Amino acid sequence: MAKKSPAKVKIKRINQVCILVNDLELVAENFWKILGIGPWSVFKWEAPMVYGRTYHGKPAWAREKIALTQVDDLQLELAQAIDGPSIYGDWVEEHGGGLHHINFLLDTAEEYKRTVESLNTEGFEILQSGRFGPPERGYGYTYIDIPPLRTIWGPVYEGEVDAETLMVPKE
């Protein structure tokens, strides 16, 4: 008989793995030449594409460059910090790059909010959050540091998320 997990959060599908780099174009080219992973779509991860951003619970502005590609059902992301306070820049300064976060999709705004609240209530710090995509959709993301799992985890909801939902932690 299979055991039932006591976890309050149950991830159904990992959507994305992100690796932080210092030279996005070079690393993307290396993935293509060495492992055949690509082609890559490169984006500026900044306003107006990214908005409503918080960094350690306070409004923040930053710029990054990201590259995305699909490997079967998994999205692989490369990210490079450019300017402003962000967990990307913090990570590169402390670790010099490498695996940064894993994200997972949630089906509803309620599930998204409940997941972020649950992890935060369990003592895991919300590092950064925000919205991305067209304002009429307002996809939401939150990066949560979960030290026992050795990486940052990112719940994502690809539907309308209001600012209050993203500001879940109560200081």
Q: Which domains does the chain have, with CATH numbers?
A: 14-166 (3.10.180.10)
The predicted structure's pLDDT at residue 3 = 87
Give Cα separations from 73 to 67, 70, 85 (angstroms). Answer: 16, 7, 31
pTM value?
Answer: 0.89
The predicted structure's pLDDT at residue 135 = 73
The predicted structure's pLDDT at residue 73 = 95
Closest by Cα among 127, 153, 8 to 62? 127
Amino acid (1-letter code) at residue 152: I
| Spatial strand order in the sheet of 151-157 | 41-45, 63-71, 74-83, 14-20, 98-106, 151-157, 139-146, 126-132, 50-55, 58-59
What would the DSSP string read from start to end of 45-82? ESTTTEEEEEETTEE---EEEEEEEEETTEEEEEEEEE
Output DSSP code: residue 157: E
Beta carbons of 115 and 101 less than 8 angstroms apart: no
* CA dihedral of residues 45, 48, 54, 55 (deg, nearest 10): 40
Ranges of residues in the chain with a pLDDT under 50 are 168-171
Amino acid (1-letter code) at residue 43: F
**Other beta carbons within 10 Å of 18:** 23
The predicted structure's pLDDT at residue 165 = 54
Q: Are strands 14-20 and 74-83 parallel, antiparallel or unpaired?
A: parallel
The predicted structure's pLDDT at residue 24 = 97
